[in-house]
Amino acid sequence: MPQILAIVGRPNVGKSTLFNRIIGARDAIVHDDPGVTRDRHYASTEWAGKRFSVIDTGGYVPQSTDLFERAIREQAQVAIEEASGVVFVVDATTGVTAIDEEIASILRKEKKKIHLVVNKVDNEKREIDSAQFFKLGLGDPLSISALGGRGIGDFLDEVTKGFSADGLDGDEDPRLKIAIIGKPNVGKSSLVNVLLGKQRTIVTPIPGTTRDSIDSVLKYQKEEILLIDTAGLRRKSRVKESVEFFSTLRALKSIERCDVAVLMVDVDQGIDKQDLRILETIAESHRGIVLAANKWDLIEKDDQTAKSYEKSIHEIVRMYDYVPVIFISALQKQRVFKLVDLAKEVFAQLQRRIPTNKLNTLLLKDIRTTPPSSASGKEIKLNYVTQVKTKPPAFAFFTNEPKLVQDKYRRFLERKLREHFGFTGVPISLYFRKKN
Kindly report the CATH number assigned to the domain that includes residue 115.
3.40.50.300
Residue 246 sits in the same domain as residue 377: no
HEC per residue, 275-312: HHHHHHHHHHCCCEEEEEEECHHHCCCCCCHHHHHHHH
Q: What is the pLDDT of residue 400?
A: 92
How large is the average pLDDT for residues 216-234?
78
pLDDT exceeds cutoff 50 at 164:
yes
DSSP symbol at 313: H
- Whether 276 maps to a domain, the answer reads yes
Cα separation, 308 vs 319, whole angstroms: 19
Domain count, the chain: 3
Hey, how many other C-beta atoms are within 10 angstroms of the C-beta on 194? Answer: 19
More confident residue, 365 or 60: 365
* Contact present, 6 and 53 (Cβ < 8 Å): no
Domain termination residue (choose one: 134, 159, 184): 159
Q: What is the pLDDT of residue 201?
A: 45
More confident residue, 251 or 143: 143
Q: What are all long-range contacts of 28-35, with beta carbons under 8 Å and residues at least 24 apart?
A: 28/56, 34/59, 35/11, 35/59, 35/68, 35/69, 35/72
Q: pLDDT band at 166, cuts 50/70/90? A: low
Residue 253 sits in the same domain as residue 337: yes
Cα separation, 78 vs 72, whole angstroms: 10
Among the residue ranges 158-162, 179-183, 244-248, 427-431, the one predicted with the least confidence is 244-248
pTM (2 d.p.):
0.65
Q: What is the pLDDT of residue 163?
A: 85
Residue 181 sits in the same domain as residue 115: no
pLDDT exceeds cutoff 90 at 40:
no
- Whether 325 maps to a domain, the answer reads yes
Residue 200 sits in the same domain as residue 301: yes
Q: pLDDT band at 208, cuts 50/70/90? A: very low
How large is the average pLDDT for residues 264-292?
89
Task: Starting at the earlier edge strand, list the strands of the sheet with 429-434.
Answer: 382-389, 394-399, 429-434
pLDDT exceeds cutoff 60 at 210:
no
Task: Read off the CATH number of the domain in which 370 is found.
Answer: 3.30.300.20
Q: pLDDT band at 1, cuts 50/70/90? A: low
Q: What is the pLDDT of residue 239?
A: 45
- Whether 250 maps to a domain, the answer reads yes
pLDDT exceeds cutoff 80 at 37:
no
pLDDT exceeds cutoff 50 at 238:
no
Q: What is the pLDDT of residue 329?
A: 93
Among the residue ranges 79-88, 163-172, 336-345, the one predicted with the least confidence is 163-172
Q: What is the pLDDT of residue 190?
A: 87
3-state SS, residue 265: strand
Q: pLDDT band at 31, cuts 50/70/90? A: very low
> Which of 13, 73, 7, 14 lies closest to 38, judged by CA?
73
Residue 338 sits in the same domain as residue 361: no
- Whether 165 maps to a domain, the answer reads no
Residue 186 sits in the same domain as residue 328: yes
Residue 371 sits in the same domain as residue 414: yes
Across-strand partners of 87?
A: 7, 115
- Whether 166 maps to a domain, the answer reads no
Phi, psi of 319 (to 5 degrees): -65, -10
pLDDT per position as a tens digit, 64-120: 777 666 666 666 777 777 788 999 999 999 999 998 998 899 899 888 899 999 999
Cα separation, 16 vs 38, whole angstroms: 11
Average pLDDT, the chain: 83
Q: What is the pLDDT of residue 136?
A: 95
Residue 22 sits in the same domain as residue 107: yes
Domain of residue 50: give its range.
4-159
Q: Which residues contact 217 (CB under 8 A, 6 or more apart)?
A: 175, 224, 225, 226, 227
pLDDT per position as a tens digit, 285-318: 899 999 999 999 988 888 888 888 889 888 898 8
Residue 79 sits in the same domain as residue 120: yes
Q: What is the pLDDT of residue 230?
A: 66
Residue 316 sits in the same domain as residue 420: no
pLDDT per position as a tens digit, 369-421: 999 987 777 888 999 999 999 988 999 999 998 888 999 999 999 999 999 99
Alpha helices in 42-85 (DSSP H): 67-82
What is Dmax (Cα atoms) for the chain? 75
pLDDT exceeds cutoff 90 at 339:
yes
Q: What is the pLDDT of residue 72?
A: 65
Cα separation, 168 vs 392, whole angstroms: 14
pLDDT exceeds cutoff 50 at 200:
no
Cα separation, 106 vs 104, whole angstroms: 5
Q: pLDDT band at 277, cuts 50/70/90? A: confident
Residue 261 sits in the same domain as residue 376: no
Residue 315 sits in the same domain as residue 372: no
Q: Which residues contact 210 (CB under 8 A, 6 or more apart)?
A: 188, 189, 201, 202, 229, 230, 231, 232, 247
How large is the average pLDDT for residues 309-328?
91
